Structure 1
């Protein structure tokens, strides 16, 4: 392996090590509004159910409602809702 290839490999691995926690962590930035303007968490679960998902759990993640769901085929997903207007901000496959 050449010195240049070794440098590239090391830099790539270093970037992956730094980025991995951010990639593994959920989406967190849905609103800047204070919590007293948020709708109830159950409303985000209701929005997911209305969209055809089966809700398994939900939690607050940063400034988002993170709703863990399964689709009609049983595949798990994470849905991130803005807690103020309940707009779906992001989805992740689990």
Structure 2
């Protein structure tokens, strides 16, 4: 009986964690015509020049560039950038 309740609790915590991550991704949005976007590789080079230790991945999310890696403080980072200006739009706080 206790094992069943623990499993239910673990499932609830996992669901909350996943929904919080989904919300975090949805709160950042960029509205820039695709024709005005700069290449992802240009953003990666800029971040590395700004001191990022490692850019692991750059992808598109809600019209923004979403970047995963280790920032200038060598801390794990997930940040969103405007694809035209490379202005920081927001970030997901890491635990």
Provide TM-score, normalisation by structure 1. Answer: 0.65
Residues 1:90 and 1:45: Cα distance change in structure 2 (over 3 Å) = same
1:64: which partner in 2?
64
Residue correspondence of structure 1 range 11-90 to structure 2 within 5 A: 21=19, 23-25=20-22, 26=25, 27-30=27-30, 32-53=31-52, 54-71=54-71, 74-90=74-90
Residues 1:49 and 1:35: Cα distance change in structure 2 (over 3 Å) = same
Once the two structures are overlaid, the 10-residue window that deviates more, 51-60 or 70-79, is: 70-79
Deviations 1:55-84 (A, max 9, x none): 111111111001111135542101211001
How much has 1:88 moved relative to structure 2?
A: 1.2
Given that residues 56 and 68 in structure 1 are in contact (C-alpha distance below 8 angstroms), is that contact kept between their aligned partners in structure 2?
A: yes
Q: Structure 1: how far apart are the matches of 2:75 and 2:36?
A: 32
**Structure 1: runs of 5 or more not aligned:** 1-16
**Structure 2: runs of 5 or more not aligned:** 1-15
State the superposition RMSD in angstroms: 2.5
Structure whose alpha-carbon radius of gyration is higher = 1
